[in-house]
Amino acid sequence: MWVRNIAIIPARGGSKRIPRKNIKGFLGKPVIAYSVEAALASGLFGEVMVSTDDEEIAQVAREHGASVPFMRSPKASDDYATTAQVLAEVLERYESAGREFDHACCIYPTAPFVTADILGVAYAKLTKGGFDSVFPVLRYSYPIWRSLKVEDGKAVMNWPEHLNSRSQDLTAAFHDAGQFYWFQAGKFLESGKIFTANSGVVELSELEAQDIDTETDWQLAELKYRLLHNIER
C-alpha cells in the first residue's frame, strides 16, 4: 500500500556564509545525506524528494536514495523565497502529476541530528493529536523574561517587572529547533502557513540540535554529534 506522506528536503544551491553548505562533508559524508537517510529509514514516506536548483546537489541526493523528479523554479530559488513557497511549489507539482499527499514533512538538509525515531514521534503526535503541524523545539537555557537589551550603551531589561523574579517561577520559553516540520498537506495548501494556532511540538535536548549558519556552528554540530553517538575523533 502506498504511503500518502512525502518528505521534502529543500536544498538550494546558493549559500553565502558556508559555501556549498548543503553538500559539505559532515563527519565523512555530505550533510544532506543524514536528512535523506533518516527519512528513508523511518518508513513513513511514500516519497522522499529533494527540491533543488543545483545539479550537483541533485546528484548527491540521488546517490543517497532521494528522488529529484524536477528542478526548483527560479522564482522559488532566489534569496527571498520562503520555505512555505518552496513546499507549495513541490506539492502543487505533484498534484498536477496526479499524486496527492495527506501529510508532508519538510526536513532541512543541514539537520544531521534528525533521526527516524524523532520523525516517528512527531508524526504520531501530528496524527493522534489532530494538529495542523508538529515541529521540534529547544528550551531556552536562561529565562528570556530576564533578558536584556542595550540602549545608548546601557543595559535595559526587556521585562523590568521580572527584575527580582526567581528563575524557577518563570514560564519556560522555547524556540524552533530548525530541523523539520510535519504538517497536514491539504491545510497547508489552503492557508500557506506551517506554523498555525494549532501547531504542536516535540522537545529536544540541547545535545540533539545545533543551528548551522557559520563555520563555528558547523564545528559545534560535529562535536555534539560525536558526543551524542560516542564517536571518537
Pairing of strands 25-26, 29-30: antiparallel
The pLDDT assigned to 185 comes to 98
User: What residues contact 157, with CB distance under 8 A and at least 6 apart?
Assistant: 146, 147, 148, 149, 163
Q: Which CATH number fits domain 5-137+176-229: 3.90.550.10, 3.40.50.300, 3.10.20.90, 3.90.1150.10?
A: 3.90.550.10
- pTM of the full structure: 0.95
Q: Give pLDDT, residue 32.
A: 98
Question: 106: Cβ–Cβ under 8 A, 6 or more apart, which residues?
Answer: 8, 9, 10, 83, 87, 180, 181, 183, 194
Hey, where are the domains in the chain? Answer: 5-137+176-229
Q: Is the dihedral of CA 37, 54, 221, 196 positive or negative?
A: negative
Structural contact between residues 18 and 212, judged by C-beta atoms closer than 8 angstroms: yes
Q: Please report the pLDDT score of residue 3 as a whole number.
A: 79
pLDDT digits (tens), the chain, 233 positions: 567 999 999 999 988 789 999 999 999 999 999 999 999 999 999 999 999 999 999 999 999 999 999 999 999 998 889 999 999 999 999 999 999 999 999 999 999 999 999 999 999 999 999 999 999 999 999 999 999 999 999 999 999 999 999 988 999 999 999 999 999 999 999 999 999 999 999 999 999 999 999 999 999 999 999 999 998 86
The answer to whether 39 and 105 have CB atoms below 8 angstroms apart is yes
What is the pLDDT at residue 220? 97
